[in-house]
Structure 1
């Protein structure tokens, strides 16, 4: 069986700022590229603080994952790129609020710059479709 790479950016998500799509999918495996806290309706940042931007990133992730038959409970790994590590606790509070009890693997990096002014963080993730597995939380 041959799998092909499908790429897409759902219409109800922020537009990419470069020559890429947000989602790549091969079979039941999903990758979502770097996503910032932009509201797709306004094109503006969801807020000037890391918590507002974190919540918006997860709302975008929810829409993107739904477009490829998945959800936050099927996320396997998240990378967080913080502009200021001093925002770690505020990001974590919003992260827990949006992720609920599911705790996928995660890596947090401090970065010197991000491509758009005012962006406090970006995230990317890997996930699987709902058909791939049932979520397990320990």
Structure 2
């Protein structure tokens, strides 16, 4: 039976509940819902969707690198927006971070999020580089 490893790497925000940021088995990686928290301050990276989405993508880079992966190996991303009107700014930050890689993605509007001040959260699935 495969072993599931869990991680909360250094340089990432502290989880707000009883979970790890990353679960990994073999080459398969799952990253938990991640709001746009700046790990250096513990606060939201900004009051706007673009700043928060950019920070989420930065946090994803750190998390993926800690388990031998990167954004080019992302299979699917779920985005949960509090306001559908923030779609364009989230999309702008997402496209800047992903470059030419276009993984599958789902965007859903939600009523609220657990982290105060969060305009969105994202989670993803990826595979390792090898």
For 1:77 and 1:40, the matched residues in 2 are separated by 24
SS in 2 for 1:103: coil
TM-score (norm: length of structure 2): 0.98
- Structure 1 residue runs without a partner (length 5+): 132-138
Equivalent runs, 1:1-138 vs 2, <5 Å: 2-131=1-130
| Structure 1 residue ranges, 4+ long, deviating more than 3 angstroms after superposition | none
For 1:116 and 1:36, the matched residues in 2 are separated by 7
Deviation (angstroms), 1:11 = 1.1
TM-score (norm: length of structure 1): 0.93
For 1:60 and 1:116, the matched residues in 2 are separated by 16
Pairwise CA RMSD: 0.6
SS in 1 for 2:122: strand
- Structure 2 residue runs without a partner (length 5+): none
CA displacement, residues 10-63 of structure 1 (integer Å, 9 cap, x when unaligned): 011001000000000000000001000000011111000000000000000000
Structure showing greater Rg:
1
For 1:116 and 1:71, the matched residues in 2 are separated by 25
SS in 2 for 1:124: strand
